[in-house]
Amino acid sequence: MEIATSRSGRILLTVFFWILVVFLYLPIAVLALFSFNDGDPSFPLTGITTHWYGDVLSNHVLTTALFRSTVVATVSSLIAVALGVMTSFALIRRRFLGKPIVSALVFSPLVIPYLVFGISLLLIFTLVDKVLSEAFGVYFGLGLHSVVIGHVVVALPYTILTILPLLERLSVSLDEAAKDLGASPRETFRRVTLPLLMPALISAFLVAFTLSFDEFAIASFLSGSQQTWPVYLFAQLRVPRLLPQLIAVSSVVFLGSLLLILSAEIGRRLAQRRYGAEYSRGGFAA
Amino acid sequence: MLWLVLFFLAPVVYVAIYSVGGIKLFPMDTGVISLDDWSRFLGGGSIYLSLFWKSVRMSLTVSIAVVLLAYPVGYFLALVVRKLKYVLLLVIIVPFLTSFLLRVLAWKVMLGDRGVFNSFLVSLHVRPADDPIEWLLYSQFTVMLVLAYAWIPFVALPIFVSLDNLDRSLLEAASDLGCSRFRTFWRVTLPLSLPGLIAGFVFVFVPTIGEFVTPLLVGGTSGYMYGNAIQDLFTRGLDWQTGSVLAMFLLLVVAGLMMIFGRYVQVRSVAAD
């Protein structure tokens, strides 16, 4: 006998599941549909066109915003992955005082409201600028650099969560073997540890990248006049004329992030198979 | 580590100091340490405090609704589906991993007066063109709908994990001992999945209570939330000190929740198991 559900319960749950899937995907599908509609985003559909996509390419402000987001996402993910590796090593291979506090600190950006964090950074940058401009007459102002700093902080726990499980299962004896065979610590890291960690690093990078690329709350406070893509999107939503264009870019961005996520996930699976070890069981580094 | 101390801990502590007037940043700041702003905020009749409770009510409604919707999904995936379990889980999770802003935008396009949904009804001649369903957009309902939509995948995850790790033999034992399916669920399955349920609840409640993007885009005036007040104080009102008080209060509430429920929320078991 099936204990979890009766037959009718099973059917009911299946139906419920697929209704929910439709509910989750319908708005996105509609968005994509209207990006090809020759007219306002409303019924009836008035014809197929790709000229919204063309308009996007000639909209300089928009492409600049996309470019900025790409830069911010790349730089902040690289830093976050580098810091993530170091922190993971420290958390797993070293013993030190106050480790629980450190690990609490590392993971707390997961739960802080981004709104609060964004204004905290805004306040401290304002203070730093005030002090600097009074003392030396220079100041940094707000811009992409401040967004990068904020995004590294919020991406860090995600990268650590992706790297940690693999690092835990990498045997220390591999490092020791390398050492016995005469490799320097640097060489060991570069030729043994790093290649073994590579799949986790790549998926950590992809997770951090998607996170940063879409992040709005922190960027809205810190980007100043250098609007990143989400900030630009948000600001332009009030202009109805631009809406079809925005929908077009959004569809592309959506597709792009979908591909990134799927490749990150597939990468994890491949790595899992390669090492045989069950280091990630259905894990989604969300 | 240094990065976190410099750019995470320091700013947060700094806001706390600023909120009691410990630092003079602008000419109009008093520069005198006092709890005036705090007592004004916590005192009776404060609009911000009532706004906070409104946000709590909205977040609670959303969280409960989302947990109720996500539980059957987790149950289905963990206990009913045999093959393709993880593929179907991925199907549910993927929307969550894509841009939050875009998903809100999608609903805005769907629900406007001349948006997809209303114009669809018009073209079917269900409703006249000059009489759209207005409450679809810019209402509390919309904010809650969109928030629920956005968070279902993320809540299904911890519920799935807790149900998937459940020892099947316990279910069999209950059934052998003469429990009906319903009784088995009520007495065995549900209590054992409670940690996942609570984790899921916290996962929605914490982020939605500080939410400000969704209300801005689809909430109109009636959907205005606590987070919007904070943002307005910083961007328009330029009363940063009151804003800091509000932000610190939100942070304390979240920290308190995490302390109470933290043991259910095993970050690692959920996010990268």
Does the beta-carbon distance from A30 to B153 stay under 8 Å?
Answer: no
Chain B residues inside the 8 Å CB shell of A35: none
Domains and CATH numbers, chain A: 52-275 (1.10.3720.10)
Does the beta-carbon distance from B247 to A116 stay under 8 Å?
Answer: yes
**In this predicted structure, which of A193-202, A252-261, B83-92, B113-122 has the lowest mean pLDDT?**
B113-122
Q: What is the mean pLDDT of chain B?
A: 75
Nearest residue of A to residue B246, measured between CA atoms: A116
**Angle at CA of residue A189, ends A184 and A192, nearest 5°:** 100
Among A113, A123, A253, the residue with its CB nearest the CB of B99 is A253
Query: What's the pTM?
Result: 0.77
Does the beta-carbon distance from B11 to A1 stay under 8 Å?
Answer: no
Among A3, A221, A237, the residue with its CB nearest the CB of B105 is A237
Does the beta-carbon distance from A112 to B12 stay under 8 Å?
Answer: yes
Q: How many separate domains does chain B show?
A: 1
Asked if the structure places residue B23 within a domain, the reply is no
Averaged pLDDT in 10-residue chunks for chain A of 286 residues:
70 85 83 72 64 72 84 90 85 71 74 80 78 70 80 86 77 74 76 78 84 83 80 78 77 80 73 54 39
Does the beta-carbon distance from A265 to B103 stay under 8 Å?
Answer: no
Q: What is the pLDDT of residue A78?
A: 92
For B211, the domain range is: 51-239+256-271
Q: What is the pLDDT of residue A41?
A: 62
Asked if the structure places residue B69 within a domain, the reply is yes
Burial class (CB in 10 A: 0-12, 13-18, 19+), A284: buried
Chain A residues inside the 8 Å CB shell of B181: 3-6, 9
Q: What is the pLDDT of residue B268?
A: 47
Chain B residues inside the 8 Å CB shell of A27: 103, 106-107, 109-110, 149
Q: How far is B226 from chain A (nearest CA, A)?
A: 11
Burial A83-111 (b: 16+ CB within 10 A, else e): bbbebbbbbeeeeeeeeeebeebbbbbbb
The 8 Å CB, 24+ separation contacts for B258-267 are B258/A111, B258/B202, B258/B206, B261/B198, B261/B199, B261/B201, B261/B202, B264/B195, B264/B198, B264/B199, B264/B202, B265/B158, B265/B198, B265/B199, B265/B202, B265/B203, B266/B199, B267/A107, B267/A110, B267/A157, B267/A161
Asked if the structure places residue B33 within a domain, the reply is no
B160: domain CATH number is: 1.10.3720.10
Does the beta-carbon distance from A117 to B8 stay under 8 Å?
Answer: yes
What's the rounded mean pLDDT across residues B229-242?
74
How many CB atoms within 10 Å of residue B1?
12
Chains A and B: how many Cβ contacts under 8 Å? 254
With contact defined as beta carbons under 8 Å apart, do A142 and A125 qualify?
yes
Asked if the structure places residue B245 within a domain, the reply is no
Rounded Cα gap, residues A204 and A198, in angstroms: 10
What's the rounded mean pLDDT across residues B184-188?
79
Asked if the structure places residue B14 within a domain, the reply is no
Chain B residues inside the 8 Å CB shell of A14: 76, 80
Would you list the DSSP string of B44-62? TT-HHHHHHHHHHHHHHHH
Q: What is the pLDDT of residue B269?
A: 44
Q: What is the pLDDT of residue A223?
A: 79
> What's the maximum distance between 2 C-alpha atoms anywhere in chain B?
75
With contact defined as beta carbons under 8 Å apart, do A244 and A50 qualify?
no
- What is each CA distance from B228 to A159, A265, B126, B209, in whole angstroms? 30, 35, 36, 11
Burial class (CB in 10 A: 0-12, 13-18, 19+), A19: exposed
Q: Which residue has the higher pLDDT, B269 or B102?
A: B102
Mutate which of A7, A31, A46, A239 to test chain B, going by most B C-beta atoms within 10 A?
A31
Chain B residues inside the 8 Å CB shell of A216: 100-101, 213
With contact defined as beta carbons under 8 Å apart, do B158 and B273 qualify?
no
Q: What is the ipTM of this complex?
A: 0.74
Mutate which of A78, A120, A258 to test chain B, going by most B C-beta atoms within 10 A?
A120
Nearest residue of A to residue B170, measured between CA atoms: A3
Q: What is the pLDDT of residue A75?
A: 92
Backbone angles phi, psi at A137, to 5 degrees: 75, 15
Does the beta-carbon distance from B3 to A152 stay under 8 Å?
Answer: yes
Does the beta-carbon distance from B73 to A233 stay under 8 Å?
Answer: no
**In this predicted structure, which of A232-246, B9-23, B126-140, B146-160 has the lowest mean pLDDT?**
B9-23
Residues 183-202 of B with CB under 8 A from A: 184, 189
Chain B residues inside the 8 Å CB shell of A3: 171-172, 174-175, 181, 184
Residue B272 has pLDDT above 60, yes or no: no
Does the beta-carbon distance from B244 to A123 stay under 8 Å?
Answer: yes
B169: tokens are 């033999």
Does the beta-carbon distance from B73 to A16 stay under 8 Å?
Answer: yes
Chain A residues inside the 8 Å CB shell of B210: 113-116
Q: How far is B254 from chain A (nearest CA, A)?
A: 7
User: According to DSSP H, which parts of chain B are helical?
Assistant: 2-4, 10-19, 36-42, 47-75, 85-97, 100-111, 116-123, 140-164, 168-176, 181-184, 190-209, 213-214, 226-235, 240-261, 267-271
Quick check: B243 contacting A, CB < 8 Å? yes
Asked if the structure places residue B11 within a domain, the reply is no
Nearest residue of B to residue A118, measured between CA atoms: B11
Chain A residues inside the 8 Å CB shell of B100: 214, 216
Asked if the structure places residue B229 within a domain, the reply is yes
Asked if the structure places residue B71 within a domain, the reply is yes
Quick check: B180 contacting A, CB < 8 Å? no
Among A27, A111, A253, the residue with its CB nearest the CB of B206 is A111
Among B25, B91, B118, the residue with its CB nearest the CB of A126 is B25
